[in-house]
Amino acid sequence: MSKQILILAGDGIGPEIMSAAERVLGVVNEKFNLGLSWEHGLLGGCAIDAHGVPLPDVTLKAAKKADAVLLGAVGGPKWDTIERSIRPERGLLKIRSELNLFANLRPAILYPQLADASSLKPEIVAGLDILIVRELTGGIYFGQPRGIRTLENGEKQGYNTDVYSESEIKRIAKVAFDMAGLRGGKVCSVDKANVLEVTELWKQTVTELAASEYPNIQLSHMYVDNAAMQLVRAPKQFDVIVTGNLFGDILSDEAAMLTGSIGMLPSASLDENGKGMYEPCHGSAPDIAGKNIANPLATILSVAMMLRYTFREETAAKAIEDAVGKVLDQGLRTGDIMSDGMTQVGTQAMGEAVVNAL
Amino acid sequence: MSKQILILAGDGIGPEIMSAAERVLGVVNEKFNLGLSWEHGLLGGCAIDAHGVPLPDVTLKAAKKADAVLLGAVGGPKWDTIERSIRPERGLLKIRSELNLFANLRPAILYPQLADASSLKPEIVAGLDILIVRELTGGIYFGQPRGIRTLENGEKQGYNTDVYSESEIKRIAKVAFDMAGLRGGKVCSVDKANVLEVTELWKQTVTELAASEYPNIQLSHMYVDNAAMQLVRAPKQFDVIVTGNLFGDILSDEAAMLTGSIGMLPSASLDENGKGMYEPCHGSAPDIAGKNIANPLATILSVAMMLRYTFREETAAKAIEDAVGKVLDQGLRTGDIMSDGMTQVGTQAMGEAVVNAL
Ligand SMILES: CC(C)[C@H](C(=O)O)[C@@H](O)C(=O)O
Ligand SMILES: CC(C)[C@H](C(=O)O)[C@@H](O)C(=O)O
């Protein structure tokens, strides 16, 4: 049985955080006898520099062959002014789409040790544990027609199409319901059905699926504007949130920031067969790249998600998560989550601390 | 010179909060000799009950004739299951569009007296004063084609079109720049230009306009996902935010909730000639309707906005705002903003207190 991982460190802080995560992966692989092997590839700005495109064929081929992809972060000012169609983000969107990674899981968890880091009052966020399930290969991100055209009167007009079919909605809703079944049993589906037909169909489809196949899941619906409010007002009311690509992009970032420690949050993007791409929620942070100060824990926790969802190695996944908990208990902090009385450490030292805690 | 107002109290708590606001309007009208007159009309659920449609012709005609519209709130569970095309929200969207109210101003202000009400830490939100300028008659709310169709394989597909032309973008950006010129001088334009062409044109157009006509405004750009995060992390970094209809819907509600007192926030929707519709940011709150406990201050402050933007009566507008400040100083609170040691009052009593403070 193949257990092949493709590692794409990417740009900015990508290489440093990935090197720390790779150390952890190596140790866990031996300790739990996982039989995993991995190779490296280029995605994003570094791929543009080497091959002229953000997702080179060789990377795509390797990604298709692999069972899982571990990604650092892509992009940076260096590539911000190049032609739109070959920007780093395009590589990210293309790999998601080519690998059919339609289910994006973004947990927003507040580690008790980091409760102070939140900009919200402790009583509002203590114990926060939300899972955002975002559809990732459809909606307005990929809808056609799209573009910028010139109207008869000479002015330009930009346009995009938001589009979802029942089958696309069902398969992502299923993921959300299944996940909720393993957690708090509640799903909140977020739409703007009072204005947009595409989300009216979303709401209907989710409702029907719940009624016919998930009688034990408690399903609620919320308009996206209200969801953006409720996340600020009382985020702990949520268990699993399921929504489309664009709303998921916005709400998952808002939810992540509620924790105040986005440097701690991993994510998974899965296809229908458990193949997945795993990456931290944060970006490539070009301003602190190469300084050995970035927080590698989100990438390390992405390794844990990979072991859980693609390789079904729950024990090893849990071991990594526990080890991360331990280093936090020890008071070790990278700069982004530093607070009074804690010990500030660099990227690699944080990685080593996790290795030791294992 | 005509100074005619159309009052649409609407549904739920609409009539009670409007009756308090109307008392204030009456007093200010006399005190400052404004020469305003007003009549009443139906919009939303109450219009459906009386005329079968949420925006009856007679209301639309009166609204077109009036110089300003003062709106309570529309909608409620009673009309949630009726045919989509005549739901209360449709009336709201139609009146915005028919009156060309393209510029939606949504202030998110944290009153010092209410700092505790926020779910964010005091140091994060104290002194918060953001103005969100939302485009209100274009974008995906009104774009064609739209609908739900059946595909060849028999499954349904929902679709909507997000669309903006240069002239639509310019006119809303101008409003934002002009407003910023009267405030902190900073505009943050929010887009998703890394993915959506429609917002790529948005970003370009705003950038060009700033360079050619507003050299003194400090313009920045932010992706919508990042904006949703930054509002939680450090909201005071913003002065004026300008964005499209959908992002504006989401971000303005998020920003309003940062204050913890959405019952305090008014809004204005303006056309190109200063005609406007004024309404509280909150909804019709059917659960507390008819109990004389709703907070009328957002509606009262909407009257102030109306005097400022449509009737150019700054002194009278300021007098209302100061009176609201005074009743807060006196410790008077409706239930939604109640806290220890304050005096809880009902809707009408709060209105009377503002009248007395005038
Ligand atoms: C970089 C960008 C295209 C991407 C997205 O919008 O999906 C990012 O914001 C994310 O959420 O992974
Ligand atoms: C009721 C709804 C159609 C409306 C909108 O989305 O514009 C509301 O949320 C608002 O923001 O005024």
What's the pLDDT at B81? 86
DSSP H or E segment with residue B298: helix B297-309
Query: Is the CB of residue A195 below 6 angstroms from any atom belonging to ligand 2?
Result: yes
Q: Where are the beta strands (DSSP E) in chain A?
A: 4-10, 37-41, 68-73, 103-109, 129-135, 147-150, 156-165, 186-191, 218-223, 240-243, 266-270, 276-280, 332-333, 343-344
User: What does the pLDDT read at residue B57?
Assistant: 97
B43-95 per-position pLDDT tens digit: 999 999 999 999 999 999 999 999 999 999 999 999 988 988 899 999 999 99
Residue B194 CB–ligand 1 contact under 6 Å:
yes
**A147 alpha carbon – ligand 1 mean position (Å):** 19
B196 is a domain residue = no
At position B87, the amino acid (one-letter code) is R
**Which residues is A107 bridged to in the sheet?**
A131
Do A247 and A267 belong together in one domain? no
Contact B157 A141 (CB under 8 A): no
Kindly state the DSSP code that residue A327 receives in the 8-state scheme: H
Structure confidence by residue, pLDDT tens digits, A95-127? 999 999 999 999 999 999 998 889 999 999 999
Q: What is the pLDDT of residue A80?
A: 84
The whole-number average pLDDT for the span A217-239 is 97
Contact between B222 and B243 (Cβ < 8 Å): no
Q: Provide the mean pLDDT of chain A.
A: 96
Q: What is the DSSP letter of B23?
A: H
Pocket test for ligand 1, best of A92, A96, A254 (most atoms within 8 A of CB): A92
H-helix or E-strand spanning residue B160 = strand B156-165
DSSP letter at B133 equals E
Q: How much is the pLDDT for B215?
A: 97
A255 sits in the region (left: phi over 0; alpha: psi -120 to 50; else beta) called alpha
A116 and A138, same structural domain? no
d(CA B136, CA B105): 10
If asked whether residues A105 and A160 sit together in one domain, one would say no
Q: What is the pLDDT of residues B102-151, one digit of tens each?
A: 999 999 999 999 988 899 999 999 999 999 999 999 999 999 999 999 99
Residue B296 domain-assigned?
Answer: yes
Q: 10 Å Cβ neighbour count for B37? A: 11
Tell me: do A269 and A203 sit in the same domain. no
CA distance from start to end of chain B: 26
Asked if pLDDT for residue A1 goes beyond 70, the answer is: no
Task: Give the β-pairing of A103-109 and A37-41.
Answer: unpaired
Same domain (yes/no): A250, A137: yes
**Does residue A226 sit in the same domain as residue A275?**
no
8 Å CB contact between B162 and B195: no
Nearest to B155 by CA among A160, A201, A143: A201
Q: Indicate if ligand 2 lies below 6 Å from the C-beta of A225.
A: yes
Instruction: Determine the angle formed by the axes of helices B245-258 and A224-233, rounding to 10 degrees.
Output: 20
Q: Of B71, B84, B86, B89, which is best to mutate to test ligand 2, by the most ligand atoms within 8 angstroms of its C-beta?
A: B89
B212 occurs within a structural domain: no
Q: How many CA atoms lie within 13 A of B274 on its CB side?
A: 9
Q: Is the dihedral of CA A108, A112, A114, A117 positive or negative?
A: positive
- pLDDT at residue A253 is higher than 90: yes
Q: Quick check: B164 and A157 CB within 8 A?
A: yes
CATH (domain of B45): 3.40.718.10
Q: Say whether both A171 and A254 belong to one domain.
A: yes
Cα–ligand 2 centroid distance for A150 (angstroms): 30
Checking if the pLDDT of B2 tops 90, the result is: no
Contact A200 B158 (CB under 8 A): yes
Give B195's contacts in chain A (Cβ within 8 Å).
89, 93, 141
At B229 the pLDDT is 97
Residue B69 in tokens: 């519209």
Residue A105 amino acid letter: L
Using the predicted structure, report yes or no on whether residue B227 has a pLDDT greater than 90.
Answer: yes
Which residue's CA is the nearest one to ligand 2's atom 3? B89
CB-based contact A312:A90 (threshold 8 Å):
no
Rounded Cα gap, residues B296 and B172, in angstroms = 29
Please list every residue in chain B whose beta carbon sits closer than 8 Å to the beta carbon of residue A234.
119
Q: Tell me, in angstroms, the distance from the centre of ligand 2 to residue B140's CA.
A: 13
Is B129 within the bounds of a domain? no
Largest CA distance in chain B: 68
Q: Quick check: A160 and B201 CB within 8 A? A: no
Binding site, annotated residues of A: 76-89, 96, 106, 134, 225, 249, 253, 283-295
Boundary (domain end) residue, out of A210, A226, A258? A258
* Helix ranges (DSSP H) in B111-196: 122-125, 166-181
Within-domain flag for B199:
no
How far, in Å, CA of B348 to CA of B215, rounded?
Answer: 47
In angstroms, rounded to a whole number, what is the distance separating the alpha carbons of residues A217 and A206?
A: 12
A94 and A210 together in one domain: no
Local structure of B295: helix, strand or coil: coil
Distance of CA B7 to CAs A137, A199, A257, B326, Å? 46, 32, 41, 26
Position in ligand 2 atom list of the atom nearest CA B245 = 7
Structure tokens at B323: 């009176």
Q: Is pLDDT of B1 > 70?
A: no
Domain that holds residue B20: 1-110+262-358
Phi, psi of A160 (to 5 degrees): -140, 160
Distance CA A118, CA A255 (A): 11
A252, A276: one domain: no
In a shared domain, residues A304 and A238 = no
At which of A223, A258, A293 does a domain end? A258
Please tell me the predicted confidence (pLDDT) of residue B241. Answer: 98
Which of B205, B245, B257, B284 would best serve as a mutation to test chain A binding (most A beta carbons within 10 A)?
A: B257
Put the strands of the sheet holding B266-270 in their side by side order: B37-41, B4-10, B68-73, B276-280, B266-270, B103-109, B129-135, B240-243, B186-191, B218-223
Region A285-294: mean pLDDT is: 96
User: Are residues A254 and A154 both part of a single domain?
Assistant: yes
Assess whether A162 carries a catalytic annotation. no
Grade residue A300 by pLDDT with cuts at 50, 70 and 90. Answer: very high
Question: To which residue do tokens 């109990």 refer?
Answer: B291
Give the mean pLDDT of A241-259: 97
DSSP state of A120: B
Written as six digits, the tokens of A266 are 């991993």
Active-site residue A178, yes or no?
no
Q: pLDDT tens, B308-352?
A: 999 999 999 999 999 999 999 999 999 999 999 999 999 999 999
Compute, in angstroms, the gap from residue B59 CA to the centroid of ligand 2: 19
Instruction: State the amino acid at position A124 in one-letter form.
Output: I
Please indicate whether residue A192 is annotated as part of the active site: yes
d(CA A349, CA A332): 9
Q: Which positions in chain B touch A162 (Cβ < 8 Å)?
A: 140, 159-162
Residue A148: how many other CB atoms lie within 10 Å = 14
Domain contains B206: no
Domain shared by A34 and A111, yes or no = yes
Encode pLDDT of A45-101 as tens digits: 999 999 999 999 999 999 999 999 999 999 999 998 898 889 999 999 999 999 999
Q: Is residue B327 part of a domain?
A: yes
Q: Which two tokens stand for residue A301?
A: 């926790």
- Chain A residues with CB-CB distance to B260 below 8 A: 233
Q: Structurally, how many domains does chain A consist of?
A: 2
* Nearest by CB: B232 against A148, A199, A232: A232
Residue of A297, A268, A320, A334 lying closest to A27 (CA atoms): A320
Pairing of strands B186-191, B156-165: unpaired
Determine the residue of A55, A85, A87, A93 to mutate for testing ligand 1's pocket, defined as the one with the most ligand atoms within 8 A of the Cβ atom. A93
Is B89's CB within 8 Å of A262's CB?
no
- List of chain A residues whose C-beta atoms are within 8 Å of the C-beta of residue B247: 250
pLDDT of A17 over the 80 cut: yes
